[in-house]
Amino acid sequence: MRMYDIIAKKRDGGELSREEIRFFVQGYTAGDVPDYQASALAMAICLRGMTPRETGDLTLEMAASGDTVDLSTLEGVTVDKHSTGGVGDKTTLVLGPIAASLGLTMAKMSGRGLGHTGGTIDKLESIPGLRTELSREEFLRIVKQVGLCVAGQSGNLVPADKKLYALRDVTATVESVPLIASSIMSKKLAAGAQCILLDVKTGSGAFMKTAEQSRELAQAMVDIAAHAGRKAAALITDMDRPLGNAVGNSLEVAEACAALQGRGPADLTDLCVELAAGLLVLAGRAGWEEGRALARGQIQNGQAFQKLKEMAAAQGGDVSVLEDPSCFPAAGARLPVLAGEEGWLTAMDTALCGAASVELGAGREKKGDAIDSAAGILLHKKPGDYVHKGDLLAEMFAASPALCRRGEEVFRAALRFGPEQPEKRPLVLGRVGGA
């Protein structure tokens, strides 16, 4: 078999066999297929697409390219969730405890934030002492004990994706549904859960800007799970505004704790309840309506919040900050942002809002940059609110007043005001699978 023929076949619109896909993935991971041939194939896939069978085979081969996690020794149905990323998305911190408190088992590997989007690992690490770099044994021990553990991705999980994603990033081949879907799902398959719920974000803060693109990606990922013998469903959810009111690591943990105690913003709570219902449906434990009621019940009876504290303690975290978020180390400076005009807040460019939080120190521009756990934004107005001159729009938190002012400048550029009340956008714009 020759890489040249595989590239030419895809260039001409042919359908690659499982063997051809395996030849490429194994050869590229081992270093036998050079970057220039891999990038030519990635571009051919970008332009010609892939059938669901090809996308499924590509995902299976990528998932098998490195370590995989065996969750078969765990009790209960193993579940996982993936969000395509957004601003203020702290759903794992709320959903995981709800799911585990209902007897589902979540052994979750999460990532760090990059660019305008945040990452669960950074949020968790704002809890003093909490460790996310765990050995495989420790990870599984905590899952067995608590039903929930969230750790960083292990070193050799899906090395094919690590190489291919870095290549796609510099060869203008990121924007391809089969390549995105296989990249995401290879990591989910390797992480081992039986049921996978996908939160595909759409809007100005999301990777996918329109509901149509998001639906296409969602369908591709649900199809891959079926091809792999796993259960999956996807919700297409709004990211045209930040989720909740907090953007930034310890601020988001505090907001997640409030949501778990029934005091969270409605959008965050409603989405987490919907996601939890989705996991219960996939696990065969409830229908959607019953699932929502069960999830809300775990917030009301305090068991979900208790689960978060159990997980944090098992991972070495100081639980007192969860009980009283005012114990989190404070930011060096705070700057209130006041409205300079009156009118409806019609839109908030969510990627810019995320960029403002990066300016404040809450995120990183490039891998490895340091972050300030206390930095971020607390929103006091969201699109759809009427604003009077002088109203508090938001608070900026950063290490210094100068950083607060830099964040404010970017944040103000994200805001749009107008004379008309904007149309209300639903939080969940669609669903794929999980019938």
**Closest alpha carbon to 150 in 168, 125, 115:** 125
Identity of the residue, 180 or 322, whose beta carbon is nearer to ligand URA in the bound complex: 180
Strand 386-387 versus strand 246-247 pairing type? unpaired
Site string for ligand URA, 319-358 (x = CB under 6 A): ----------------------------------------
Q: State which amino acid sits at residue 382.
A: K
Query: Which residues are catalytically annotated?
Result: 82, 161, 168, 183, 187
Contact positions with ligand URA (CB under 6 A) in 196-225: 207
Give me the least distance between CB of 174 and ligand URA, in Å please. Answer: 6
Residue 358 C-beta: closest distance to ligand URA, Å: 18
* Smallest separation, CB 84 to ligand URA (Å): 7
Please compute Rg for the chain using Cα positions: 22
Extract the tokens encoding 281.
């449906």
- 131 touches 313 (CB < 8 A): no
Residue range at the interface with ligand URA (CB under 6 A); choices 147-155, 172-180, 261-269, 416-424: 172-180
C-alpha distances out from residue 245 to 207, 262, 377, Å: 20, 15, 8
Shortest distance in whole angstroms from residue 166 CB to ligand URA: 11
**Alpha-carbon distance 196 to 80, whole Å?**
5
Separation between Cα atoms, residue 391 and residue 337, nearest integer Å: 8
Torsions phi, psi for 324 (to 5 deg) = -140, 90
179/335 with CB nearer ligand URA: 179
Residue whose C-alpha is closest to residue 235's, from 190, 266, 270, 264: 270
Per-residue DSSP letter, 67: B
Q: Which is nearer to ligand URA, 17 or 219 (CB)?
A: 219
User: What residue ranges in 194-292 does DSSP mark as E strands?
Assistant: 195-202, 231-238, 246-247
Which residue, 29 or 101, has its beta carbon nearer to ligand URA? 29
3-state secondary structure of 316: coil
Beta strands in 153-296 (DSSP E): 195-202, 231-238, 246-247
Q: Of 31-39, 142-150, 178-186, 246-254, which part binds ligand URA (CB under 6 A)?
A: 178-186
In the bound state, the residue with its beta carbon closest to ligand URA is 183
Angle at 301 between CA 299 and CA 305, to 5 degrees: 50
Shortest distance, position 184 Cβ to ligand URA, whole Å:
5
Decide whether 54 or 267 has the Cβ nearer to ligand URA.
54
> In whole angstroms, how close is the CB of 153 to ligand URA at the nearest point?
10
DSSP, collapsed to helix, strand or coil, labels residue 413 as helix
Shortest Å, Cβ 231 to ligand URA = 20
Nearer to ligand URA, 215 or 307 (CB): 215
Total residues in contact with ligand URA, by rule CB under 6 A:
7
The stretch near ligand URA (CB under 6 A) out of 63-71, 177-185, 249-257, 352-360 is: 177-185
Note whether 187 and 153 are within 8 A (CB).
yes
183 binds ligand URA (CB under 6 A): yes
Runs of H (alpha helix) within 315-400: 320-323, 350-360
In this structure, the strands spanning 343-348 and 415-418 are antiparallel
For ligand URA, the binding residues in 372-411 under the rule CB under 6 A are: none
Please choose, out of 22-30, 117-125, 176-184, 341-349, the segment that lies near ligand URA by the rule CB under 6 A: 176-184
Query: Is the four-CA dihedral 178, 27, 151, 59 of positive or negative sign?
Result: positive
Candidates 7, 184, 221, 272: give the one binding ligand URA (CB under 6 A): 184
Q: Show the site string, 111-150: x = touches ligand URA by CB under 6 A, - = not.
A: ----------------------------------------
- The mark string for 35-64 relative to ligand URA (x by CB under 6 A, - otherwise) is ------------------------------
Q: How far apart are CA 310 and CA 11, in angstroms?
A: 53
- Give least dist CB 371 to ligand URA, A: 20
* From 38, 63, 77, 180, residue interacting with ligand URA (rule: CB under 6 A): 180
Specify the stretch interacting with ligand URA by CB under 6 A; choose among 113-121, 130-138, 173-181, 195-203: 173-181
CB 299 within 8 A of CB 131: no
DSSP string, 97-144: HHHHHTT-EEEEEE---BTTB--HHHHHTTSTT------HHHHHHHHH
Q: Which residues bind ligand URA (CB under 6 A)?
A: 165, 174, 179-180, 183-184, 207
